[in-house]
């Protein structure tokens, strides 16, 4: 009975998500506003090896770059953290901007993959902005940490695939942000660690929960107790990242590998990918029988879609499918 009730709740959630995928685009105008804002940027720009750009600026309004890629990469959205002087540390403003960006893509059925990366060479995110934290009143700390934790959870709950491209140090809250993504890619010399115990605190944005799920309980305890940072190669060996790549001269090797991976996702059915993500994410937290029931409920959501019929037609006609997320 509990499984049946649980599946009913899940199905309601699925209907909301698929309804969203099928065309609820209430945030379309806001996303367009963000894009127009980004298109008008004239800060310091350095081309990267794939023709994209990195923006360097100390202005708070530029702490986050949100790029909606186009052409063959249409559907890929890149969140670029851009606080060079603060080593991309998580501030109030960055939390607010990322929360807004996450909300803008959450219900956008045209977004296929979100990549979170750094616009600053050699750093992904150094964790919380401790200089800003030191200036906070005691009463401000709790609400800020709560909002940062909520942001990281919202990244984890995005319906489309998310990839963290770690081209430099990801420490404390920076690694917790990466852990909330579906897939992590690191350069071989990147540094990753939950180092909070050095400051006599513990990871407070999901690290104590997500790290054990990624690499196992004993190893997670060892890394958290010791506050040890490991490089990308070791992170790959432990299963903390899916890929460790040799860094290039422009310092964006992990980003480029993330982009390649997103391009592999792009041609496939977007509703199917979202349902597969939901089935995996929900199913891994329950027993096998309940997980199979969740999978069945997710499968039921793709049967009536136009994309499924398009996939069959394309297979029959021996041509690439043209999926629309419908």
- The domain total for the chain is 2
Q: Report the percent of the chain where pLDDT is more than 90.
A: 59
Catalytic residue list contains 173:
yes
Catalytic residue list contains 291:
no
Of 31, 101, 128, 253, catalytic = 128
Average pLDDT over residues 127-156: 84
Residue 88, pLDDT above cutoff 70: yes
Provide the 10 A C-beta neighbour count for residue 231.
17
Confidence of residue 33 (pLDDT cuts 50, 70, 90): very low
Q: Which tokens hold the place of 275? A: 């349902």
| Listed residues 235, 250, 266: the one ending a domain | 266
Of 75, 80, 173, 325, catalytic = 173
- Residues 262, 181: one domain? yes
Do 113 and 160 contact (CB within 8 A), yes or no? yes
Confidence of residue 145 (pLDDT cuts 50, 70, 90): confident
Question: What is the domain range of residue 284?
Answer: 270-317
Read off the CATH number of the domain in which 137 is found.
Answer: 3.90.226.10
Helices (DSSP H) in 157-250: which residue ranges?
173-179, 207-215, 217-226, 232-238
Q: Is residue 140 part of a domain?
A: yes
Average pLDDT over residues 182-190: 96
Of 170, 196, 235, 244, catalytic = 196
Read off the CATH number of the domain in which 298 is found.
Answer: 1.10.12.10
pLDDT in tens, 3-26: 444 444 454 444 444 443 443 333
Average per-residue pLDDT in the chain? 82
Whole-model pTM: value is: 0.80
Residue 45, pLDDT above cutoff 60: no
- Residues 251, 291: one domain? no
- Residues 296, 189: one domain? no
- Residues 254, 301: one domain? no
Report residue 21: phi and psi, to 5°: -60, -35
Residue 211, pLDDT above cutoff 90: yes
pLDDT in tens, 221-242: 999 999 999 999 999 999 999 9
Q: Which tokens hold the place of 211? A: 């790290």
Q: Is residue 15 part of a domain?
A: no
- Residues 117, 197: one domain? yes
Catalytic residue list contains 19:
no
Average pLDDT over residues 57-82: 86
What pLDDT is attached to residue 224?
Answer: 97
- Residues 223, 80: one domain? yes
- Residues 252, 123: one domain? yes
- Residues 180, 224: one domain? yes
Whole-angstrom distance between the N-terminal and C-terminal Cα of the chain?
32
Catalytic residue list contains 196:
yes
- Residues 127, 215: one domain? yes
Of 127, 170, 176, 193, catalytic = 176
pLDDT in tens, 244-295: 999 999 999 999 999 999 999 999 989 999 999 999 999 999 999 999 999 9
What pLDDT is attached to residue 73?
Answer: 93
């Amino acid at each position: 009975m509990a499984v049946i009730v649980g599946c009913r709740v899940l199905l309601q959630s699925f209907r909301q998500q698929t309804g969203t995928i099928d065309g609820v685009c209430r945030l379309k105008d806001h996303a367009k506003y963000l894009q127009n804002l980004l298109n008008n940027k004239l800060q310091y720009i350095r081309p990267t090896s794939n023709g994209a750009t990195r923006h360097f600026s100390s202005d708070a309004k530029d702490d986050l770059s949100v790029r909606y890629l186009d052409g063959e990469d249409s559907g890929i959205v890149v969140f670029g953290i851009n606080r060079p002087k603060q080593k991309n540390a998580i501030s109030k403003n960055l939390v607010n901007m990322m929360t807004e960006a996450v909300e803008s893509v959450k219900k956008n059925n045209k977004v296929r993959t979100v990549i979170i990366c750094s616009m600053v060479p050699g750093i992904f995110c150094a964790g919380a902005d401790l200089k800003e934290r030191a200036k906070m009143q005691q009463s401000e700390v709790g609400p800020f940490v709560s909002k940062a934790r909520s942001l990281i959870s919202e990244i984890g709950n995005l319906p489309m695939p998310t990839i963290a491209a770690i081209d430099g140090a990801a420490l404390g809250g920076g690694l917790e942000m990466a852990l909330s993504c579906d897939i992590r890619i690191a350069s071989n010399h990147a540094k990753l660690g939950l180092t909070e115990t050095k400051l006599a605190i513990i990871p407070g944005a999901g690290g104590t929960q997500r790290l054990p799920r990624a690499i196992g309980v004993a190893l997670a305890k060892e890394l958290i107790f010791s506050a040890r940072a490991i490089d990308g190669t070791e992170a790959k060996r432990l299963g903390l990242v899916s890929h460790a790549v040799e860094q290039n001269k422009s310092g964006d090797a992990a980003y480029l590998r993330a982009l390649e991976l997103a391009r592999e996702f792009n041609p496939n059915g977007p509703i199917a990918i979202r349902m597969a993500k939901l089935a995996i994410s929900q199913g891994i937290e329950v027993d096998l029988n309940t997980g199979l029931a969740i999978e069945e409920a997710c499968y039921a959501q793709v049967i009536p879609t136009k994309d499924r019929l398009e996939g069959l037609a394309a297979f029959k006609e021996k041509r690439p499918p043209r999926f629309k997320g419908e």
